[in-house]
Chain A
Amino acid sequence: GAVVSQHPSWVICKSGTSVKIECRSLDFQATTMFWYRQFPKQSLMLMATSNEGSKATYEQGVEKDKFLINHASLTLSTLTVTSAHPEDSSFYICSATLAGGPRTDTQYFGPGTRLTVL
């Protein structure tokens, strides 16, 4: 149980284009979804927190107009990297917490999406 999927697993795009990454909770409803960015050999850096039906809360230094987050349902959140540039190349990971039950404190992670911007 508590499986989170991400699509695509990897994507290559040209500079200036937009890329959408999907995060789905497959077997549970998610109260909250989180988006992280991870650079090589580093820890996860939280980008934003999203709750279903409301605007995402972005961490300091994260451009909300560049990284658009939509949390349309209790099982789906999307991250759109707009006008991508090579410096946006990274590994993006989403996670979700359960809506209800004894483990609402635990985050379950997706497998990540590797974005390469040429």
Chain B
Amino acid sequence: AQTVTQSQPEMSVQEAETVTLSCTYDTSESDYYLFWYKQPPSRQMILVIRQEAYKQQNATENRFSVNFQKAAKSFSLKISDSQLGDAAMYFCAYRGMNRDDKIIFGKGTRLHILP
């Protein structure tokens, strides 16, 4: 069975600095999708970034980028120029290629932004 592990329950970063959130996963599949979702205090889940495993290029979305290491099964999220609005719970997630595959979430990392 697939698993997703986020080893950092909480992290803090100074405003305008860069922070990296870790995520590892386990799967025997060769093709799959990986996601980072953000859940701010409003509790609305927001898609931050999406990575297709068959693409070697790391996905980027403005200040958010990932370091996807397929062999190591690692999928870290880097947030550059951290802003107060980035404070949230961040969930790493895995999904297989089949239509009925479920998303498997990690336990989350709570990110604090220090002014």
A residues apposed to B, CB below 8 Å: 31-32, 34, 38, 42-44, 46, 49, 91, 93, 95, 103-109, 111-112
Contact = CB atoms under 8 A, between A and B. Distances in A.
B95 A105 contact: yes
Given A111-B42, A111-B43, A106 B99 contact: no
Interface string B9-30: 0000000000000000000000
Given A32-B100, A43-B91, A49-B100, A108 B47 contact: yes
Nearest to B47: A106
B43 A43 contact: no
A43 B102 contact: no
A107 B44 CA distance: 13
Main secondary structure of the interface of A (DSSP, over half): strand
B75 interface: no
Given A42-B107, A42-B108, A108-B47, 17 more contacts: A32-B100, A34-B103, A43-B107, A44-B105, A46-B102, A46-B103, A49-B102, A91-B43, A93-B43, A93-B45, A95-B45, A105-B50, A105-B97, A106-B33, A106-B35, A107-B95, A111-B42
Contact of B44 (A31, A46, A106, A112): A112
A105 B33 contact: yes
